[in-house]
Amino acid sequence: MELVTPGIGLIFWQTITFLLVLFLLSKFAWKPIMTALRERESSIENALSMAEKAKLEMQALKAGNEKLLAEARAERDRILKEASEASNQMIEAAKAKAGEESNRMIAQAREAVTNEKRAAIAEIKNLAGNLSVEIAEQLLKRELKDATAQQQLVSDYMKEVTLN
């Protein structure tokens, strides 16, 4: 049983050794270990705070990127709308110009038809007048073969001219 129960001398020397090791550790090792632990703790806290700052910055950047993306989309929509309006305006202007041009061409065609009609009527009148003169000339030649009939026609014509 002596093996299981320690002796008083063993306990004494173990206590003195323990106190000596405790004194030496507290004198030489405890301060550097505690300093290293404090430095480690502060570096971990700094790393955590920097990670939190980085997280906040990332959220701010993400919000900024989303804002820029929304602005870019709005700008794209505005440009597309302006382009659509411009194309509609150009189409309407082209339609209006084509309508005006067709109206002008129709008016010119009507005027040309009217001018051609007038020219044809004038030509028909001239032709009718020429034919009437030729017919009258032929009739007068037949009726006025003798001199007395010619004298009678001239005197009748003179009476009509003085009356008008």
- Token digits for 69? 């993306």
157 domain residue, yes or no: no
121 domain residue, yes or no: yes
By residue range, what is the domain housing residue 59? 8-145
- Token digits for 91? 């189409």
Q: How far is CA 26 from CA 18, 30, 41, 55, in A?
A: 12, 5, 20, 41
Q: Give the angle 53-57-62 at the CA atoms, nearest 5°.
A: 150
1 domain residue, yes or no: no
42 domain residue, yes or no: yes
- Token digits for 4? 């299981």
- Token digits for 108? 């010119």
Q: Give the angle 95-98-99 at the CA atoms, nearest 5°.
A: 85
Each residue of 128-161: b (16+ CB within 10 Å) or e?
eeeeeeeeeeeeeeeeeeeeeeeeeeeeeeeeee
In sequence order, the 6+-apart residues with CB closer than 8 A to the CB of 150 are 144
CA distance 120 to 130: 15
Greater pLDDT, 130 or 139: 130
What is the pLDDT, as a whole number, of residue 164? 44
What is the pLDDT, as a whole number, of residue 2? 62
3 domain residue, yes or no: no
Q: What is the DSSP letter of 5?
A: S
Digit-coded pLDDT (tens) for 131-155: 888 877 777 777 767 777 777 777 8
Residue 12 pLDDT > 80: yes
70 domain residue, yes or no: yes
Residue 163 pLDDT > 70: no
- How many structural domains does the chain have? 1
Q: Report the range of poorest mean pLDDT among 68-82, 99-113, 119-133, 149-163.
A: 149-163
136 domain residue, yes or no: yes
164 domain residue, yes or no: no
CA distance 149 to 143: 7
